[in-house]
């Protein structure tokens, strides 16, 4: 897992042809907007979240975010334990996000 600043995350994501954006916030938080093309899996769903994460392609590069960067950091650690090679946590999460946001 690697923590990336907002700028590093956006730059690395823009150049990554193997990228998947993962939003681990709650449904209520996602209702306020989501980063374009993000997959939404709520980390608070516990075992269901783990099962959904485990179904994802482990060869992809995952750019993970939440509201503040805390839950997404936990998700990245969990993903590493499940065998994912590349999971990048967005420091500051949506609270500091200045990029595009779309309605879910």
Convert the pLDDT of each residue in 7-23 to its tens digit. Answer: 999 999 999 999 999 99
Structural domains in the chain? 2-96 (3.40.250.10)
pTM above 0.75, yes or no: yes
Convert the pLDDT of each residue in 40-70 to its tens digit. Answer: 999 999 999 999 999 999 999 999 999 999 9
Q: Give catalytic status of residue 66 as yes or no.
A: yes
The catalytic residue among 13, 38, 66, 75 is 66
How crowded is residue 31: how many other Cβ atoms within 10 Å of its Cβ?
A: 11
Sheet containing strand 86-90, edge to edge, reads 2-4, 86-90, 61-65, 19-23, 39-40
């Amino acid at each position: 897992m690697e923590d990336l600043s907002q700028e590093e995350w956006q730059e690395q994501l823009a150049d990554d042809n193997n990228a998947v954006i993962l939003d681990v916030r709650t449904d209520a938080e996602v209702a306020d907007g989501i980063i374009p093309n993000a997959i939404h899996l709520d980390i608070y769903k516990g075992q269901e979240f783990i099962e959904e994460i485990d179904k994802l392609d482990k060869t992809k590069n995952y750019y993970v975010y939440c509201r503040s960067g805390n839950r997404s950091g936990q998700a990245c650690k969990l993903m590493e334990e499940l065998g994912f090679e590349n999971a990048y946590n967005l420091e500051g999460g949506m609270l500091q996000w200045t990029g595009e946001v779309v309605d879910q």
